[in-house]
């Protein structure tokens, strides 16, 4: 790993920990993403956060994802994250499952292997955090048991 890559890894670690410290599994390789997604049971819900270093991830996406995943009555069975710009192959592999326009940060909710909800960056950036939380809550309420 060169000095730049090491610096970026160290810079991104607190941003990664903001999710993993709240129970989100960090998927850092292609194999980890495939194993995680391919082992979802048909009745399980999986909430994925595509993390990034941008301001809207720090001020909006991560706080909203953590708040709703912890506080909502209905919660996904599993929560995980990939880090765009850090775990490039893992992120690309996850985007194959999401099958939407690549966007980071973004959030996706699956039931089994079926994508049920997707929030791209343009639905995060520039919005009020309460609106984002309500959108996530509505998706959890609809699809999570």
Structural domain contains residue 41: yes
Which structural domain range is residue 104 located in? 24-143
For residue 105, the model assigns a pLDDT of: 96
Tally of structural domains, the chain: 1
- Read off the pLDDT of residues 29-68 as tens digits, 9 standing for 90 and up: 999 999 999 999 999 999 999 999 888 888 999 999 999 9
The DSSP bridge pattern shows strands 114-119 and 106-111 to be antiparallel
Rounded Cα distance, 21 and 19, in Å: 5
Mean pLDDT of 110-122: 96
Q: pTM to 2 decimals? A: 0.94
Structural domain contains residue 117: yes
- Annotated catalytic residues are 54, 56
Rounded Cα distance, 107 and 139, in Å: 11
Mean pLDDT of 7-23: 92
Residue from 34, 38, 33, 35 nearest 50 by CA = 33
Structural domain contains residue 99: yes
pLDDT at 145 over 90: no
Structural domain contains residue 8: no
For residue 68, the model assigns a pLDDT of: 98
For residue 102, the model assigns a pLDDT of: 82
Structural domain contains residue 16: no
For residue 101, the model assigns a pLDDT of: 78
Structural domain contains residue 4: no
Count Cβ atoms within 10 A of the Cβ of residue 126 and give its class: 0-12 exposed, 13-18 middle, 19 or more buried.
exposed
- Read off the pLDDT of residues 72-106 as tens digits, 9 standing for 90 and up: 999 999 999 999 999 999 999 999 999 887 889 99
pLDDT at 1 over 80: no
Structural domain contains residue 9: no
Domain of 137: which CATH number?
Answer: 3.40.30.10
- In what helix (H) or strand (E) does residue 34 lie, and over which residues does it extend? helix 30-38
């Amino acid at each position: 790993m060169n000095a730049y890559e090491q610096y970026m890894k160290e810079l991104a670690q607190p941003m990664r920990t903001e999710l993993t410290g709240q129970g989100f599994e960090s998927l850092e390789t292609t194999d980890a993403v495939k194993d995680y997604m391919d082992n979802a049971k048909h009745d399980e819900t999986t909430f994925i956060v595509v993390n990034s270093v941008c301001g809207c991830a720090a001020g909006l996406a991560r706080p909203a994802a953590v708040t709703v995943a912890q506080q909502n009555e209905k919660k996904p069975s599993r929560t995980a994250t990939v880090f765009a710009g850090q775990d490039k192959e893992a992120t690309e592999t996850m985007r194959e499952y999401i099958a939407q326009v690549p966007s980071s940060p973004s959030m996706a909710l699956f039931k089994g292997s079926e994508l049920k909800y997707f929030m791209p960056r343009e639905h995060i950036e520039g919005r009020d955090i309460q609106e984002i939380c309500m959108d996530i809550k509505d998706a959890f309420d609809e699809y999570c048991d």
